[in-house]
Structure 1
Amino acid sequence: MSFTDQVVVVTGAAQGIGRSVAEAYAVAGAKVVLADNKEAEGAAAAASIRNEGGEAIFVQCDVRSEQDITNLFRTTVEEFKQIDVLVNNAGLAKWKSPYELTLEEWDDVLNTNVRSCFLASREAAKHMKSNEHGGAIINMASTRALMSEPDTEAYAASKGAIVALTHALAVSLGKDQIRVNCISPGWIETGEVKKLKKEDHEQHPSGRVGVPSDISRACLYLSDPSNTFVTGTNLVIDGGMTRKMIYED
């Protein structure tokens, strides 16, 4: 899949899955805009892409801020003249008992994870609809939109909302040739895979824990300009865990 002459914006791109996604698009020929609230890490990630021969810039952006998001897309268009792909990857998790979770903490998670997806998609779509080929938006949800562990209410609610927002946007923006899909990752290890236990891998029907490149490849597929029949979908990438029945002895 080639993304030559395409401009891709990735939020939460300073590290982990977001950085892997940005790097994958750069290798595929895209001009990449890395957005993150972490200035030093984000600038370093963009510099690393440039050092490998790719074209990338970093824009500091707190996705909770409408002004920052507006500035992100204004800067992108000033630099590269267009926007073809948006990957809404930025996210925040907070594991806390519902008895103790404060309203401020709830709002922070929802604003970071969901409101940012809407705002960024809205601003990106304004530019994408003027493209001859439209564009593609990918939202990062989670298997926690479908199943839960204790004390994950805010995070689960935010990821469930992202799945719903995705199909709503797909229907609303379809007339402008803008495809909107989401990915629900399961366990994606962004640290040292070698430190995981054998049991961590074996519990997955796939036989292993996921890595960021599993998500990067899915982003390339969902945003490939030839895949115009794929929109409104939630692609679960979890090694089969959400399809596995688990009973305790």
Structure 2
Amino acid sequence: MTKTAIITGAGNGIGRATVIHLIGEGWRVAALDKDGEALDEIAASLPADQLLTFTADLGEEDAVKSAFKAIADWADNAALLVNNSGIAQPHAGPLEDLTLDKWQGWIDASLTAAFLCSRAALPLLRAHANAADEASAIVNITSTRAIQSEPDTFGYAAAKGGLAALTHCMAVSLGPQIRVNAIAPGWIETGPWQKEANRAQPDHSAKAEKQHPVGRIGKPQDIAEAVAWLAGPASGFVTGQQLAIDGGMTRKMIYVS
């Protein structure tokens, strides 16, 4: 049986890589993003019968309702929801200069969107669990900034930390039909995975690479493959967890010399 996944923030970076990876593994994917241009690029390169794209601001309730109505018309169930939407730029500047609107932007793009999309996806996820006699999955893309911070990243850190807490709350509330886990990416180089207008090839120093215990900076494919594992039967006893995929950086003590 061909499985259906729903991926938010699907136009660029980790979301784009996850769409391409899952379709390569035989999934059908509903790809959602505010960036219609990026979604059009993806659609032009992938099989039309395996991909549905929908342009929407997922921090807005009516937009989410419209998106999931279109998905329900396209697929009668879904095995996976990936909550990946968010504002990629984490830096807000000094706290005293941070406006409520800008703060709310980070919260809505990631945390509110995950709540709205998870709620809207429940009928589809439960339908798959009932039809396939196996748990469906939600994977929330958080960040290592959910557990450690750089200066002046207030809204981003709060949104990702809230999403980490939402993960374990949903896991204990929605099981056993739905398993819910999170992936916390570290430094993932997304430049080559942006839409054409914003695409960039990285030029990282050897020092930047070597500061990671694995010896390199992360790639979007690293996250996409972990999403596929968390969606599959091999992770059937895993729920409520946050998996850091960061090349070991959150385990490395760094001293200024």
Q: TM-score range by the shorter chain?
A: over 0.9
Q: Deviations over 1:159-215 (max 9, x none)?
A: 11010000000000004x101000000000012565111111000001000000000
Shift of 1:138: 0.5
- Note the alpha carbon deviations across 1:92-139, whole angstroms, 9 max, x for none: 134121111001111111011101111111111122123323411000
2:84 is aligned to 89
The residue aligned with 1:187 is 187
Q: Distance in 2 between matches of 1:145 and 1:94?
A: 12
The unaligned stretches of length 5 or more in structure 1 are none
Tell me what 2:63 maps to: 68
The C-alpha deviation readout for 1:20-72, integer Å capped at 9, x for no partner, is 00111101101111111111211211221227xx7112111111111111122
Aligned partner (choices 32, 40, 49) of residue 35 of structure 1: 32
Letter aligned with residue 246 of structure 2: D
Q: Is the 8 A contact 2:189 2:202 kept in 1?
A: no
Residue 226 (structure 1) shift: 4.4
Select which of 217, 225, 248 maps to 2:233.
Answer: 225
Output aligned runs, 1:179-218, within 5 Å.
179-191=179-191, 194-218=202-226
Query: In the alignment, which residue of structure 2 is the partner of 1:144?
Result: 145
1:15–1:45 contact (8 Å) kept in structure 2: no
Aligned-partner Cα distance in 2 for 1:182–1:47: 30
3-state DSSP of counterpart to 1:195: coil
Query: How far apart in 1 are the matches of 2:90 and 2:102?
Result: 8
Cα 1:45–1:168 change in 2 (3 A) is same
**Paired residue for 1:114?**
111
Question: Is the 2:76–2:124 contact (alpha carbons within 8 Å) kept by the matching residues of 1?
Answer: no
SS at match of 1:130: helix
Asked whether the 8 Å contact 1:5–1:29 carries over to 2, the reply is yes
Q: How many residues align?
A: 243
Percent of paired sites with the same residue: 40
Question: In structure 2, what residue type is equivalent to 1:223?
Answer: A
Q: TM-score, length-normalised on structure 1?
A: 0.94
Give the conservation status (yes or no) of the 8 Å contact 1:9–1:86.
yes
Q: Does the Cα contact within 8 Å between 1:34 and 1:46 map onto a contact in 2? A: no
The RMSD of aligned alpha carbons is 1.4
1:237 lines up with 2:232 in the alignment: no
Q: How do 1:8-27 residues align onto structure 2 when only pairs under 5 Å count? A: 8-27=5-24
Greater Cα offset, 96-105 or 213-222: 96-105
Q: CA deviation at 1:227?
A: 2.5
Segments of 4+ in structure 1 off by > 6 A?
none
What TM-score, normalized by structure 2, do the two folds share? Answer: 0.91
1:246 is paired with a residue of what secondary structure? Answer: coil
The amino acid that maps onto 2:178 is I
Paired with 2:69 and 2:233, the residues of 1 have a C-alpha distance of: 23
For the residues of structure 2 that align with 1:226 and 1:203, how far apart are their CA atoms?
A: 31
The answer to whether the Cα contact below 8 Å between 1:184 and 1:234 also exists between their aligned partners in 2 is yes
